[in-house]
Structure 1
Amino acid sequence: MTRSLVIYFSLWTLLLIRFSTKGVLGEPPFSAMFVFGDSLVDNGNNNYLITLAKANFNPYGIDFSEGPTGRFSNGKTVTDILGGIVGLPLLPTFIDTIRQDKNISWGVNYGAAAAGIMEETGRNLGECISFSQQVQDFKTTVSQLKIQMEPRKLSKHLENSLTVVIHGSNDYINNYLVTEQYTSSSLYKPQNYAELLIQRYKSQILILHGLGLRKFFLAGLAPLGCIPYQLSKEFAPPGECRTYVNDIADMFNVLLRSLVDQLNAEYHGSIFVYGNTSGIFRELISNAKTYGFTVTDSGCCGIGKNKAQITCLPEFVPCNDRDKYVFWDAFHSTQAANKIIAHKVFTGSPSDCYPVNVNQMAQM
């Protein structure tokens, strides 16, 4: 068999495997993807805001084909990669869909750096697009889609769309743990604060459900006590994280997983999945060499490079061996790490995604 034929049949096999979930060659398993979250998924919404939480300058995007776009990574975010896995193109920012003529049929990204579940979260850095505002922005998108699709088609389109929510980290990093600027830690004990967050989180999820979305991937919090920025704030033994910070983040995670059980029991015909971000990150950190990483406690462009800044400084020269780092800067999961996370989200075991992974969700 000639080399060209081998390549042809190999590509054909990959395509069959990739799109077998729908039974139609070339048809993505999800109609669209709608992303709600913070800087972990922001793809440029914050470019238009008056805020310190921006990443539309070098060296951000150093490994991204379009350069610095506002993504807080050297390359693609986890939702960029996940979208690619399920056959969807890169999503437009919500703000671009308002300012420009953008195709919204494949979905929209509403993620915004520093944003959180609480309205005041992230305001210490400037203007902020909270979770509730992102949900309101989705309503605008639905109005736009109503012009493009007849009601029955739109209903099916939304029902078969993948909804990704990555919120909660900033409610600790840029709220509860910033005691010099926020009073939340003095008003609420950690468990009570987690309960408050979940209560408000749930209300936004139910609004999205009421607007027609049915397939939800709800990401838990990473072990925040292990990110380089938190390690810089309190000396910890080598190889160990800030236990207190991880403990309070886990309180949120336990409640979020319980919420997933509750929602699945109450809303038949919908599927809610809990993403065990904490477990995935702990696996990356504890077994770093297995995944090709050598540095887990500092950023390629962060701690040890720019005096504990949360983000990279403009035009700063990052490390060369970026694929060896779990963290790009003091807070943000490098493109290399994002790839591993995205694939675990798509095909992971119940310890990664509960009760099913995203690939299984697509078939439901």
Structure 2
Amino acid sequence: MVARIIVTFTTILMILNSIKLVQAESRVPCFFIFGDSLLDNGNNNNLNTTARAHYPPYGVDFPGGPTGRFTNGRNMADILAHVLGFGNFIPPFASASGRDILQGVNYASGSAGIRNESGKTISRIVNLLGNKDATNAHLNKCLYSVGIGSNDYINNYLMPEKYQSSRLYTPSQYATLLTQQYAQQLKTLYGDGARKVVLFGLPQIGCIPQMLQTQKTRTCVDSTNEAVQLFNDKLKSLVNELNNNFTDAKFTIVNIYSMSSLFSGLSFLNFPCCNVSKTVAEGQCVPNTAPCPIRAAHAFFDNFHPTETGTMVAILRAYYSLLPSDTYPMDINHLLLSGLLGG
């Protein structure tokens, strides 16, 4: 079983590395990223928070070493940018400057939510391009990816000792509340010019190492997965609503929940690759410790975040749906081909 999975991952790596070689230029002129630590590429490095990954063993397989990415190598934003044909990584908001912002900015950080700084970037693009009409035309052609919500469960709803949300709301009510808040953020993003938007659904949080260790079990926590899936189901309805209301835009979902089921029954893959902390930054890698030698044999690098290889599987299936359930209503490739404004 392990050998077969490693061979599969190696094949996917070869496919991903070959995609860029046949593209003369990037498929979109710009790519903007919003989300949490699954997409963060350094925005938290200088913030007063324990959610930072600017130290080894994070980055052990990344060309620049530790950069703030919560994994051993590239994260979802990096790999998707590679597949799109960008020659460089999309810069984090914390260090984006000059004309670099015209190709996009990564706003993701270790906390969920769409960052307020996006308005500042639009003002800077107006200054670079000369007027608002040119800015709107440019932003309409970009791809936008959003991946938020995991922290609303891991660091809120599933922590009854610290938060009252699980006592105030049933799982269905909480999913509805989150979806309503998410809808407002996505409508704001549309108002700022987004016309092609990829939403990453939530994974099977009941199967992550942190949950298994907290619940002292080797099998996935079904009640947690069921609660998360309620949010994903409502997100699908939201996408239908947005696509119906904004006919000059297209929103699509990547079904990370279904993809993560590959590992749900393989408990030996759900052990973190690094030694994880049990104190301040609980569940993150202990600084300056050696990670496991064969990262490709692990689904998770720490207690929360996937390894680069696991991420590659998700991005390939998001870009070219291997199963009809991988994306809805279309994969990223067809989203880029859709005949929308600027498409």
Assess same fold via TM > 0.5: yes
Deviations 1:91-138 (A, max 9, x none): 1111212xx54611110000011x12xxxxxxxxxxxxxx24x1x211
Q: Which residue of 2 aligns with 1:95?
A: 94
**Structure 1 residues 108-257: aligned runs within 5 Å:** 108-113=105-110, 115-116=111-112, 131-132=113-114, 134=115, 136-149=116-129, 150-236=131-217, 238=218, 240-257=219-236
AA in 1 matched with 2:63: S
Q: Which residue of 2 aligns with 1:105?
A: 102
Deviations 1:337-363 (A, max 9, x none): 111111111111431111111111111
Q: Is the 8 A contact 1:55 1:68 kept in 2?
A: yes
The secondary structure found in structure 2 opposite 1:316 is coil
* Mean Cα deviation higher: 88-97 or 160-169: 88-97
Structure 1-normalised TM-score? 0.83
Q: Which residue of 2 aligns with 1:8?
A: none
Give, in whole Å, the separation in 2 of the partners of 1:50 and 1:233.
Answer: 26
Give, in whole Å, the separation in 2 of the partners of 1:241 and 1:16.
Answer: 36
Q: Is the 8 A contact 1:295 1:324 kept in 2?
A: no
Give, in whole Å, the separation in 1 of the partners of 2:160 and 2:263.
Answer: 30
TM-superposed CA distance for 1:164, in Å, is 0.6
Give, in whole Å, the separation in 2 of the partners of 1:175 and 1:209.
Answer: 28
Q: Is the 8 A contact 2:126 2:134 kept in 1?
A: no
Q: Which residue of 2 aligns with 1:76?
A: 74
Give, in whole Å, the separation in 1 of the partners of 2:226 and 2:213.
Answer: 18
Give, in whole Å, the separation in 1 of the partners of 2:26 and 2:137.
Answer: 14
AA in 2 matched with 1:337: G
Give, in whole Å, the separation in 2 of the partners of 1:295 and 1:78.
Answer: 23
Give, in whole Å, the separation in 2 of the partners of 1:52 and 1:28.
Answer: 35
Tell me, which stretches of 5 or more residues in structure 2 are unaligned?
Answer: 1-17, 339-343
TM-superposed CA distance for 1:61, in Å, is 0.2
AA in 1 matched with 2:246: Y
Q: Which residue of 2 aligns with 1:120?
A: none
Q: Which residue of 2 aligns with 1:355?
A: 329
Give, in whole Å, the separation in 2 of the partners of 1:27 and 1:48.
Answer: 33
Q: Which residue of 2 aligns with 1:336?
A: 309
Change in Cα spacing, 1:18 to 1:65, as seen in structure 2 (3 Å) is: same
Q: Is the 8 A contact 1:350 1:357 kept in 2?
A: no
Q: Which residue of 2 aligns with 1:3?
A: none
Instruction: Find runs of 4+ consecutive structure 1 residues off by over 6 angstroms.
Output: 14-17
Identity %: 36
Give, in whole Å, the separation in 2 of the partners of 1:138 and 1:248.
Answer: 31
AA in 1 matched with 2:297: K
Deviations 1:43-73 (A, max 9, x none): 1111111011110001100000001000000
Q: Which residue of 1 aligns with 2:55?
A: 57
Change in Cα spacing, 1:142 to 1:229, as seen in structure 2 (3 Å) is: same
TM-superposed CA distance for 1:186, in Å, is 1.4
Change in Cα spacing, 1:79 to 1:295, as seen in structure 2 (3 Å) is: farther
1:312 aligns with 2:311: no
RMSD, matched Cα: 1.9
AA in 2 matched with 1:62: V
Give, in whole Å, the separation in 2 of the partners of 1:154 and 1:353.
Answer: 30
How many equivalent residue pairs?
316
Give, in whole Å, the separation in 2 of the partners of 1:332 and 1:341.
Answer: 13
Structure number with greater Rg is 1
Q: Is the 8 A contact 2:277 2:283 kept in 1?
A: no
TM-superposed CA distance for 1:151, in Å, is 3.5
Tell me, which stretches of 5 or more residues in structure 1 are unaligned?
Answer: 1-13, 20-25, 117-130, 289-293
Give, in whole Å, the separation in 2 of the partners of 1:15 and 1:196.
Answer: 39
The secondary structure found in structure 1 opposite 2:48 is coil
AA in 2 matched with 1:233: T
The secondary structure found in structure 1 opposite 2:324 is coil
Give, in whole Å, the separation in 2 of the partners of 1:189 and 1:339.
Answer: 34
The secondary structure found in structure 2 opposite 1:95 is coil
Give, in whole Å, the separation in 1 of the partners of 2:99 and 2:52.
Answer: 22
Give, in whole Å, the separation in 2 of the partners of 1:246 and 1:284.
Answer: 14
1:277 aligns with 2:256: yes
Aligned with residue 325 of structure 1, among 298, 301, 306: 298
AA in 2 matched with 1:218: L
Q: Is the 8 A contact 2:255 2:325 kept in 1?
A: yes
Aligned with residue 246 of structure 2, among 267, 279, 282: 267
AA in 2 matched with 1:300: C
Structure 2-normalised TM-score? 0.88
Q: Is the 8 A contact 2:58 2:73 kept in 1?
A: yes
